[in-house]
Amino acid sequence: MGASQSVSEKSISEFTVKDAKGKDVNLSSYKGKVLLIVNVASKCGFTNSNYTQLTDLYSRYKDKGLEILAFPCNQFLNQEPGSSEDAEQFACTRFKAEYPIFGKAYSTEIFREEKQGLGLSTLSAAWGIGLVIGPALGGYLAQPAVKYPHLFPKDSFWDKFPYFLPSLSVSAFAFVVAIACIWLPETLHNHPLSNESIDDAEALETGNISNDDDKIIQKDENLFLNWPLMSSIIVYSIFSLYNVAYQEVFSLWVVSPGRFGGLNFTTDNVGDVLAISGIGLIVSQLFLYPSLERAFGPIKFARISAVLSIPLLQSYPFIAMLSGITLYLVINIASLLKNVLSMTIITGLFIMQNRAVEQHQRGAANGIAMTMMSIFKAIGPAGGGAV
């Protein structure tokens, strides 16, 4: 299964999956049989031939110990758009399938728990890069009549509305993404043993999540009474306010004149700094974070990042005393470190939120987190601007 030698391999009989009606099925019930585990889809170009062959194969060898376990999959071009029960009915009525049809599965979400750091660091990297690249584009595209007079003449529409071009560019990109999302497949997957979730603080701090003694089943359906979840959401919301306030203040600070304690940068300089930070963020989240998260655990790693952020931010007034290439080099390093540390904290909080609840509650839990974060982020720009 591609696991490293440090991770013990699991037998297929140790997994529990969901059937088409959502009930748990322990694969140990098939122990001793020859298993053909196959992924199926009702709208694939090979649907007819595959189902026909599977039905024929099963009828010929079922009495000799063969079991076919079929898992519908919608991941490839939405070829299984209906529910699991729809897929089961399709196979059983049209192709007379007598073998079991299980719940819909998604191969990209079959992650062992030790891979959660990589999965969520990729998510937070994409989100964080958007927060960095957006202002960077604003820096490059703002005031186009001044920066690119051969393309945008003076006294033209672009000169009268100097910030319309970056706004239009971001809006056009968002529109294209929104249209593309129409074809985005469903990504819910019921993981083996998904009824278990982690709320043991010591296990999270050490990163040791493989011991069954460190796992319990969350019984509380009321998410607001789930303290591990709500505590991580509260910290996440407060940190989001701080982070968006920093972004607002940083952009104002770097373009402010030196006599006011600023760096006297141009908007192009701001774009350069944020673009470099975005590239560094990709490298950090994809290649460094997963290994460090396994070594320290998400809580401890987030705490270390928070502590390191304090002296880093305190150094900014002293950075303003520099000049020339030294200033440019130091502010790039400081901005990169600040964004990496912030994404480290956010990724750790994402992991904590997802491990604090059962899988069927994760949609609601993330909804609460996003709502509270949005409220706090609405306060951030106003507060940052006032300060």
Quote the CA–CA distance of 70 and 140 in Å, as a whole number: 52
Give the pairing of strands 24-26 and 16-18. antiparallel
Phi first, then psi, for residue 72 (nearest 5°) are: -60, 145
Residues 6+ apart with CB under 8 A from 225: none
CB 206 within 8 A of CB 297: yes
Is 92 part of the annotated catalytic residue set?
no
47: which 2 tokens? Answer: 């649907």
CB 223 within 8 A of CB 365: yes
CB 337 within 8 A of CB 310: no
- Among the listed residues 19, 12, 18, 52, the one whose alpha carbon sits nearest the alpha carbon of residue 35: 12
CB 15 within 8 A of CB 192: yes
Active-site position among 44, 73, 92, 181: 44
Tell me if residue 67 falls in helix, strand or coil.
strand
Query: For tokens 């999959």, what's the residue?
Result: 73
Residues 6+ apart with CB under 8 A from 263: 253, 254, 255, 256, 269, 319, 320, 327, 331
DSSP 86: H
Q: Supply the residues annotated as catalytic.
A: 44
